[in-house]
Amino acid sequence: MIKWNIQLVSGIILLAFFVLIGLFGSYIAPYPPDYKMKVGYMETDNGTEFVAPPLAPSKEFLLGTDKWGKDILSLILHGAKYTVFTVLIVAAVRLLAGGIAGVFGGLTASGKKRGKQGRITLLTSIPPVILIYFIMLGININPSLSSFALIFIQGVLMAALGVPGVYNVVYSKTAEIKENLYIMASVTLGGNKSHLLKKHIWPILKGDFIILYLNETIQVLHLMGQLAIFNLFFGGTEFQPDFSIYLSMTNEWSGLIGQSRSFLSYSQWILIYPLIAFILFLLSFYLISQGLSQQSRKSHRKNTYI
C-alpha cells in the first residue's frame, strides 16, 4: 500500500497552482492593472448612494478594492508573475553558481586550502538586505529606468549575494564526503576527480541540492519582504510626496503588502489578501522541504547499513 507524504504532495500541488497563476494570472484577471473604479452615485441594494473606494469584497470586486479603486484580485493576479518567477529564477541562479563552484572547490581543495574558506564566510555575515537597500535606494524610487531594468539589477544583486552562502554549504559538504574511506580507496585505485564526482559525490549531493534550492527560494522571499518594509518594491517604487505614499509599479506581492501596511487598522482586506497569497506561496516551499526531509529520514532508517 502506498503511503502518501502529505506535506510533500500538498506543497507540490500548491506550488504548481502558483506557477499556473504566474503564467496565466494576467490573462484571467477581471480588470487591467491600471483600472480604477468610477466614483459617484450608483444604484445599490439600499437605493442610490455615493460610492467611493475602498470598497469591501463584493460580487463585482471579489477581494474588494484599494484606496484608489483598484481591484485587489486583479492586482494580485497581475503581480503573480513577478513574484513567482523572480523567486524561482533567483534561487536557481544562486544554486547553480554557488553549487558548481562549491563542488569543484571542495573536490580540489587540500587541507590548507580548506582553511581559507573563512574569507567568503565574512562576506556572508553582512545581511544582503542592507547592501541591496543602499545600492537600489537611489534608482528604485520614482525611477528613470524601466521596471524591466530594475528587475534585472535587483535580481542580479539578490542572486550574487546569495552565491557565497550556497558555495560554503556545498563546499563543506563536498569536502566532508571526500573524507570517506571508500572515496580514498577509489583515489588510491586511480579514480580521477571526474570519476569521484560522477560515481560517489553527486549521488549523495543531489538530494541536498533540492533541499538547498527550496531553502534559497524561502530566503529570496524573505529578502523581498524585508526590502518592501523599507518601501523598495521589486520593479520600482512610485513615491507621491503630496500624500507621502509609496506604490509598487509591478504589483508584486511583497510590494502590495508594503504599500498597504497603513490599512491594518481599517479596510483590512487591502492588506490581508496579498499577505495570504504571499504566505501560501512561502508555505508551498516549506511543505516541500519538510516532506523531502521526512522522506529522506525514512529512507535512511530503511538502509541503516549504509
Confidence at residue 36, expressed as pLDDT on a 0 to 100 scale? 87
Residue 168 has pLDDT above 60, yes or no: yes
Confidence at residue 41, expressed as pLDDT on a 0 to 100 scale? 76
Mean of the per-residue pLDDT values for the chain? 86
Q: Which whole number is the average pLDDT over 232-251?
A: 90
Q: Which whole number is the average pLDDT over 96-123?
A: 72
Q: Where residue 204 falls among pLDDT bands split at 50, 70, 90?
A: confident
The pLDDT tens digits of the residues spanning 143-161 come to: 999 999 999 999 999 999 9
Residue 47 has pLDDT above 90, yes or no: no
Q: Which residue has the higher pLDDT, 123 or 68?
A: 68
Beta strand 237-240 with 245-248: parallel, antiparallel or unpaired? antiparallel
Confidence at residue 299, expressed as pLDDT on a 0 to 100 scale? 67
Q: Which long-range contacts (CB under 8 A, 24 or more apart) does 194-201 make?
A: 196/107, 197/103, 197/107, 201/103, 201/107, 201/174, 201/177
This prediction has a pTM of 0.86
Q: Where residue 184 falls among pLDDT bands split at 50, 70, 90?
A: confident
